[in-house]
Amino acid sequence: MVRPPDPYCKGYSFVGWFIGDVAYDFTQPVTENLTLTARWVKGLNSWSLSPNHGPATGNTTATLTPPAIGDIRFSQFSAGKDFSLALDSLGVLYSWGNNSEGQLGRTPTASEPADRPGRVDVPGGTRFIQVSAGDEFVVAIDISNHLYSWGSNEKGQSGLGLVHSSSPVPNQVVPSTNSSKSFVQVSAGSNYALATCSDGTVYSWGDNSNGQLGRETDELHGDSSVYGHAYPNPIPLPKGVKFTQVTAGGNASLALASDGSVYSWGDNSYGQLGRTPTASEPANQPYKMNTADGLSFTQVSAGYRHTLAVDSDGNAYNWGYGSTSQPSKVALPDGIRTRQVGAGYDYSLATGSDGNIYSWGDNSSGQLGRDTGGETTNQPDKANMPDGITYTQFSAGYRHILAMCSDGYLYDWGDDSSGQLGAGNTSSVPVTTPNKADFPQAFKFISAKLDGTPITDLTKNQNGTLSFRTPAHEKGRVDLTVAWIRNGHQPDAHLPYKYDGSTYTVTFDSAGGTPTSDAQRVMDDDQAFRPDKDPAKDGYLFDGWFLKDSKGDSNIAYDFNQPVTGDITLVAHFSPVSHWNIDKKEGPQTGGQSVKLTPPQGPRGIRFSWIQAGQDFSLALGSDGNLYSWGTNYNYQLGHTPSDKPVVVETPAGVRYTQAAAGQKFALALGSDGYVYTWGSNDCEQLGRNTFTNNRNPPDKVAPPAGIHYTRVYAGDSFALALGSDGNLYAWGDDREGALGQGRSELKSRDPLRVAAPEGITFTQVFTGPFSKHVLALGSDGNLYSWGYNNSFQLGRQRSTTTDLYDPLPYKVKAPTGVTFTHASTGLNFSLALGSDNNLYSWGGNNKDQLGNTALISATPSRVVMPSDVHFTRFVAGSYFALATGSDGNLYSWGYNDCGQLGRTTSGKSDYLPTKVDTPAGITLIQPQAGGNHSSAIGSDGNTYSWGKNDQGMLGRDISGDHDPHPGKIIFPGVGIPKLVQFGDTSGIYPTANNDGTWNVTTPPYTPGPVTVTINWTLNGVTQLPDTSNTYLYTSISVLPRAGGTGIFLPLAVGLLIITATMAARRLRKAESLNQ
């Protein structure tokens, strides 16, 4: 069974999945219906700091709260030759015992001794689902179903292609033939290993001196003393046979097939193969073991010189050393069915249906768990057991045992000469009484550093927290690093602390409108918030809040998502109310007259405050508080009907979008109610909700984890991310390239999943884009992390193999020496980041000159070639190109230019050298955005400009041809569009558009007399107040046109009088009913 993602509950920490008191072992076969229960502990599972900011003068009392310990238990474990390993209920791996070859995977110290459980040093905080201990080495499978190994390697058992070099650090093991294999079970023998894959393939590596690898091998690297293979390679299996379990012993291997038969290969010196090898069925290849007819097995265990198995009736069998070469039934007490067997070094164990462990064989080290005077016995009998509990499973090592009991705790006994029992000492005296493992221990604080300076005045409080006073420091964010141990070394916790700079005033000038808005006091780098109520002024329409510059002008709409870095004044802009005009003021009561409608003259002063160029469409926030979109709409990513000009996105009633992001074929926005809304394509469940994938998905909520709301949203190619109010980053959608950061790649996820940030780290800023399948994020420790697709090294690191194209876990991007990254942006196959040295760095693919230098491809950050005496202050990566604003006020571009997306002409289709964009005269382009093959930027005049490809209308303006390399003004605001025109209370025939922007409508029949013309209309998709400024006079047909200037009066016919009277009576009755 696959371990599900860890759940989340506000105010609590997840401890693991349990059945009763026992942490569930996800490597066990499922043989019946199961209910796994999530276990929780109140409090956070990480260190926290309160408050997390204070004045630069220091002297703030800050309190550190340690993680909640919780009832973490061991779930899966393995006993090696003279050391032990165990996984806890969260997938964290611990080790204890002998470390002569680095098999503990950690470096024991005085504070982290080898004779107590200590945390294995795993790169990147990888979590595991299974571990298996050999003589002096270890193999393990992580939650992404990758293989790892560490320890002794004298026979190539590490699987890393090397021999004789031990490794004390876990390394990923990659098969030489296929690196994409997904491993589901592993077994370590004395000096070799076996592993099964999800497709039924079995791999082997290491020592092959007795044919235990099940395949032909040669001398390793010309060393005649080592016969085997240092890489995992597949074993040729009998035709039509699938192995469901493998077990590696001393030098013999066995496997359980799906039909219940057992296959064996390797050493048969003691008959442990259970068959007699022949020329046609050699020992070094898997062949079926000889058994009685109808005998079917459910489990098999290979010891050093003998083998045990359980049949489908619950009988235990053994063969090999101390028995025969054929399976013989073990004489357990009457009525006892066997649940598990385990073969150690010349001893055996079996758990019975009564919850006891039965043992027999060698007892020289007390490994039988009972007192036999150190003598060997062939009579199975009960091992000692703590009162009131039963055994659920065990692992038999060389001469010691680990066993799980029904109380959920791990117990051990046997040889403790190397501290393998984890009791905090070593002893040559055999231990026959089960001892409970000391786990989990209470935390122990080691040290804390604020911005690298040790904190020396820590006070321990009675509630277990620690307090200190902050020293003075210049303004800005710093890292508080906490070193601590609990059952060995734990990853340092990194907590952000902000030294507040100046507090700035944000003043709102309502320009005569009401209500007026109070000034806001905002700390340096924090954000102002848009006043809840827009000001109003008679005869005017509110256009939004605009930033007042040093000249007193206010051209640019203010982006409330930007940090405040000084005192600012925001000015309310208004446009005078103007009206529609009709060209005819009267007409016959019979209707049928064509009337021309002219929209209000003088465009509104609404401007865009933020814009993002997507793949083939764009999003923009208007100063009026609405979200607009335009471009391609094949997947309904516009959130409205198709349009090549900006039109407002559908918005739920009572909600205002405050921030948005464009994916490749979908979009999402953060609502003022704290919910994330999504729309567009849902082919990879990137909408985060249960909808059809017919692309017609109007904006709707994504359900957040219980108890939190989202504070920021981001969109990748076909996945979404959102920062939660709990400080965690959540992701959903396409995970085939590991972009969801789960430590394993799934196909997709509709539910928001917490990104597996390194322990002690929270992400503060996130960077991805509509063409990106990878993610960059700034951590609370000041480092830049990356995860996802890595086909061109866009993660800023090498791949482990040529076919390992993604990495689903966040790892640090190695910055140049002395440099930290402060901001970043992602393209299709490359990345950009701004360094603390004011240089812009790039890495990844450079097939279109997108790196801004002459590198062919780069896995490490290298400088973009910047113009002399210029540094970049703002930048963005497009698909295969980039834009950046320079300190000289110019906009620069580089990379691919097939559609003019660089905003300039180039001699070829690409240009690696950052060069100025051809900017309109008198305009400075700021806030650039780069799309698939088009670009946009807000100008110093407040208008938005676009250039590049326009085949899907993504430029938001009219051009000749399908692209334009010259920045041009987006048509916004547009002109009014009539939706319904009423003459009195009767609608005219639907308006039709003219080429000059006017509209025609045909009058309906109506009772003679004046009527109000009501025009219901929209501006850029936004419904406006109905225009009732026009009057139309219906004339009676009793008055005919004058002829020759004098005209004539005709008498009315009786029939006409009756008709007119009848119509008038009907209209009167209708009016009376409406007024009731």
Residues 968-1014 pLDDT 10s:
999 999 999 999 999 999 998 889 999 999 999 999 999 999 999 99
H-state helical runs in 208-302: none
**What is the model's pLDDT at position 1061?**
37
Instruction: Decide if 392 contacts 441 (C-beta within 8 A).
Output: no
Chain-centre distance of CA 519, in angstroms?
38
Give the model's confidence band at 1042: pLDDT under 50 very low, under 70 low, under 90 confident, else very high: very low
> Does a structural domain hold residue 61?
no
Residue 322 reports pLDDT greater than 90 = no
> Does a structural domain hold residue 337?
no
Q: Which of 554, 577, 600 is the C-terminal boundary of a domain?
A: 577
Residue 97 reports pLDDT greater than 50 = yes
Q: Report the share of the chain in percent with pLDDT over 90.
A: 75
Residues 6+ apart with CB under 8 A from 232: 147, 159, 173, 174, 175, 176, 193, 195, 203, 204, 205
Residues 6+ apart with CB under 8 A from 485: 111, 112, 443, 444, 446
> Does a structural domain hold residue 24?
no
Mean pLDDT of all residues belonging to the chain: 91
Residue 1056 reports pLDDT greater than 50 = no
> Does a structural domain hold residue 522?
yes
Q: Which of 192-206, 415-429, 535-549, 680-694 is predicted least confidently?
A: 680-694
Residue 1071 reports pLDDT greater than 60 = no
Q: What is the CATH number of the domain that holds 564?
A: 2.60.40.4270
**What is the model's pLDDT at position 227?**
82
Q: Which of 256-265, 317-326, 692-701, 967-976 is predicted least confidently?
A: 692-701
Residue 372 reports pLDDT greater than 80 = yes
Q: Average pLDDT, stretch 618-628?
A: 97
User: Token pair for residue 987?
Assistant: 């609608």
Residue 1068 reports pLDDT greater than 50 = no
Q: φ, ψ for residue 581 (rounded to 5)?
A: -130, 140
DSSP-derived pairing of the beta strands 377-382 and 357-361: antiparallel
Point out which residues pair with 253 in neighbouring strands.
248, 265
Q: Which of 577, 598, 621 is the C-terminal boundary of a domain?
A: 577
**What is the model's pLDDT at position 801?**
56
**What is the model's pLDDT at position 28?**
86
**What is the model's pLDDT at position 1069?**
40
**Domain assignment of residue 1058, given as a range:** 977-1075
Question: Number of folded domains in the chain?
Answer: 2
**What is the model's pLDDT at position 124?**
67
Question: H helices then E strands: how many in the chain?
Answer: 1, 84
> Does a structural domain hold residue 797?
no
Residue 818 reports pLDDT greater than 60 = yes
Q: Which of 1037, 441, 423 is nearest to 414 (CA)?
A: 423
Give pLDDT tens digits for 149-202. Answer: 999 999 999 998 878 788 898 988 888 666 667 899 999 999 999 999 988 899
Instruction: Decide if 630 contacts 956 (C-beta within 8 A).
Output: yes
**What is the model's pLDDT at position 1045?**
42
Instruction: Decide if 297 contacts 313 (C-beta within 8 A).
Output: no
**What is the model's pLDDT at position 316?**
97
Residue 1055 reports pLDDT greater than 50 = no
**What is the model's pLDDT at position 180?**
66
Is the peptide bond between 51 and the residue preceding it cis, with omega within 30 degrees of 0?
yes
> Does a structural domain hold residue 549?
yes
Q: Report the share of the chain in percent with pLDDT over 70.
A: 94
**Sign of the CA dihedral with 726 first, then 727, 732, and 735 last:** negative
**What is the model's pLDDT at position 857?**
93
**What is the model's pLDDT at position 46?**
84
Q: Average pLDDT, stretch 711-735?
A: 95
Q: Average pLDDT, stretch 475-499?
A: 89
> Does a structural domain hold residue 1016?
yes
Give the model's confidence band at 759: pLDDT under 50 very low, under 70 low, under 90 confident, else very high: confident
The residue among 1071 and 475 whose pLDDT is bigger is: 475
**What is the model's pLDDT at position 1053?**
37
The residue among 1015 and 162 whose pLDDT is bigger is: 1015
Residue 572 reports pLDDT greater than 90 = yes
Residues 6+ apart with CB under 8 A from 245: 29, 185, 196, 255, 256, 299, 300
Q: Which of 313, 315, 381 is nearest to 347 (CA)?
A: 381
Residue 130 reports pLDDT greater than 60 = yes
Q: Average pLDDT, stretch 929-954?
A: 96
Give the model's confidence band at 1057: pLDDT under 50 very low, under 70 low, under 90 confident, else very high: very low
Q: Which of 528, 555, 577 is the C-terminal boundary of a domain?
A: 577
- Residue 625 to residues 52, 647, 821, Cα–Cα distance (Å): 32, 13, 33
> Does a structural domain hold residue 361?
no
Give the model's confidence band at 692: pLDDT under 50 very low, under 70 low, under 90 confident, else very high: low
What's the rounded Cα separation, in Å, for the pair 128 and 124?
Answer: 12
Q: Average pLDDT, stretch 191-214?
A: 94
Residue 368 reports pLDDT greater than 80 = yes
Instruction: Decide if 797 contacts 831 (C-beta within 8 A).
Output: no
Total residue length of the chain = 1076
Residue 810 reports pLDDT greater than 60 = yes
Point out which residues pair with 774 in neighbouring strands.
788
Q: Average pLDDT, stretch 781-798?
A: 95
User: Token pair for residue 499?
Assistant: 């030294």
Residue 1074 reports pLDDT greater than 50 = no
What's the rounded Cα separation, in Å, for the pair 679 and 683?
Answer: 12
What's the rounded Cα separation, in Å, for the pair 1047 and 1045?
Answer: 6
Q: Find tokens 């020496």 and name the residue.
A: 817
Residue 263 reports pLDDT greater than 70 = yes
